[in-house]
Amino acid sequence: MFGYGIYKKSEINLINELYNANESTIYKLQKELLNLEDSVELLSFLYTIKDEVIINIVSNKQQEKFLVLKKFYGNSMLISLKNQFTSFNNFPNVYVTLHRETKLEDQGIIWYYNKSIFIEDIHAIHKRAGNGRILINEIISFAKEHGFKMIDGELTENDKLKTPGLPDFYKKMGFNVNKEETYFYMEL
């Protein structure tokens, strides 16, 4: 009888060990599956940005991490903030037109002088999250890096209604705003 108890105890220990091992294996498999799902989501996200150039990685005021991407469309450029959680059509972006002067020399060489960047439209999506500030700073950096002389844009009544304080935002960013608050510019 004494021996039977030891035999039973070791059998119970064996069953517990197998059960714990199975739970551990199941946990590891679940973790691997989650990693695979994350990898698939990441690959899907990377596929959506395949035609864009990554120029920076930033965090907004809410500590959301974004890739800063740029894409050229002829004489225009789109700078956007994307991560794998932003939907296809709902991401912060700024659309600008690049104004350049050309000079043709006698030898037939054309020189382009970067003159100004006109901000056509900006979509910060979530107000007061710092996305607009990030986008404007990226435009300013791009303009300085490529020798543009000025950044400017218009403030419509619709813009000011949707985003109260927009003229003050541009002033804080270093832009000059006209008295009517319909135009802003920054000389570089």
Looking at the DSSP bridge assignments, the partners of residue 104 are 110
Residues 42 and 71 grouped into a single domain: no
pLDDT tens profile 67-90: 899 999 888 999 999 887 766 567
Show the DSSP H helices in the chain as ranges.
2-48, 131-145, 157-162, 166-172
Is the entire prediction scored with pTM above 0.75? no
Averaged pLDDT, 50-68: 88
> Which pLDDT score, from 0 to 100, does residue 25 have?
73
Same domain flag for 78 and 141: yes
What phi and psi values does residue 109 have, to the nearest 5 degrees? -85, 130
* pLDDT level of residue 1 (50, 70, 90 thresholds): very low
Residues 176 and 124 both lie in one domain: yes
8-state DSSP, 90: B
Instruction: Clarify whether residues 65 and 32 are in a common domain.
Output: no
| Residues 132-157: tens digit of each pLDDT | 999 999 999 999 999 899 999 999 99
Query: In the Cβ-directed half-sphere of 13, how many Cα atoms lie within 13 Å?
Result: 6
Q: Which helix (H) or strand (E) holds 142?
A: helix 131-145
Would you tell me how many other CB atoms lie within 10 Å of the CB of residue 5? 9
* Average predicted confidence (pLDDT) for the chain: 82
Same domain, 150 and 93: yes
